[in-house]
Amino acid sequence: MSTMQTFSPRQTLNGRFLWRVVVAALAAFLLAGAFLAAPAEAAENGPSWVVDTADGSHGSGRQNYDYLVERGDRIEDALVVVNDGPAPIDLRLYAADAFTTETAQLDLRTREHASTGVGAWLRMAQERISLQPGESGEIPFTVTVPDDATPGDHMGGIVTTSASTSNGTEPERRAAIRVHLRVGDAFQPKLSVEDLSVNFSGDPLGAGLAMVTYTVRNTGDTMLSAEQSVTVAGPFDSFGVTAEPIENIPRLLPGEIWRVSVPIDGVVPSGLLAATVTVVPLYTDPAGSTGPLAGSEHTGNGWAIPWLLLILGVGALVAVVFVRKLRRSAPQKAGGLA
């Protein structure tokens, strides 16, 4: 069982202004590293290429594609592919949804994984392109936002990969560029903590290790990372121990989860243990600095049997019973001698 207590916001921001700030922040933040357009990794003497945005009605000199849209909108844009290598290239193009990897990196689904978001909404005018050395090509595409699209952030990208058949021993060589859509103007950032539990193990006669596990889920409409801290204590907050500093939860897209396991040593087995997890969502402002939103506190319970106390208690009980028996039997023996 877990409970949640919401902290007061560390700062007050107008809702409509805040969502615009976050949209701009996401753009600035993601430019720094989320599958930016870059030359594909190539084998020695093999092909290489670059993908970039095309100049047009949506802007020029863009690093990635960022759109503020409403349900039912249709966007027309284009992608540029440049062959920077010494040999002709034959490429396949496809759109894919983004996801957070187990190593906390933002990546794109491969062609074998069906997309349900941006990867399904985006259609390329052509799925293949061949270029001679130094040649470039522009490929139009459209993005059709469904009428039932969920408000909030949707992340995906356009992937270019070699059309040549792989021998299965090398990873797929590809270059990609990000496509970020913000559907609607609502701003509802929220992270929840689920399946919070604490398990105790260690010396039965002394302090031991408490393993606190939980799942963080992005239940809001905005991509967020978060700070986190964990404390374990006995009844009435006795014998409290706080975990060493924990790495931040990585950027999670709406609907994504991140599983966490935190070991805490030196926990006294005091019966019922309470684990308290504090999560503070983080966003990045247009200047590139990260700041907190309202935090939340979550608690879960587990058992740590105090064997030493039980042994001492049982020993004391046996001693009391033994002494009482001696006291009851003493007068009987005295009466028999008279």
How many Å is the Cα radius of gyration of the chain? 30
Per-residue pLDDT averaged across 24-35, rounded? 41
Residue 102: CB atoms within 10 Å = 8
Instruction: Report the C-alpha gap between 172 and 24 in whole angstroms.
Output: 32
Instruction: Report the C-alpha gap between 299 and 34 in whole angstroms.
Output: 34
To the nearest whole percent, how much of the chain has pLDDT over 70?
A: 73
Residue type at position 274: A
17, 87, 180 from 112: Cα distances, Å: 40, 28, 21
- Record the pTM: 0.74
> Residue 29: pLDDT band by 50, 70, 90 thresholds?
very low
Helix (H, G, I), strand (E, B), or coil: what is residue 50? strand
User: 48 near 42, Cβ under 8 Å?
Assistant: yes
User: 222 near 189, Cβ under 8 Å?
Assistant: yes
Nearest to 158 by CA among 109, 113, 112, 114: 109
User: The tokens of 221 are what?
Assistant: 């409409």
Backbone angles phi, psi at 42, to 5 degrees: -130, 155
- Would you say residue 30 has pLDDT above 50? no
- Would you say residue 326 has pLDDT above 80? no
The pLDDT tens digits for 86-115 are 999 999 999 999 999 999 999 999 988 999
From first CA to last CA, the distance across the chain in angstroms is: 67
Per-residue pLDDT averaged across 183-191, rounded? 90
User: The tokens of 134 are what?
Assistant: 């130094």
Q: What is the pLDDT of residue 200?
A: 92
The pLDDT tens digits for 140-175 are 999 999 999 999 999 999 999 998 755 555 556 789
- Would you say residue 310 has pLDDT above 80? no
Instruction: Report the C-alpha gap between 95 and 75 in whole angstroms.
Output: 15
- Would you say residue 123 has pLDDT above 90? yes
> Which neighbouring-strand residues pair with 38?
none
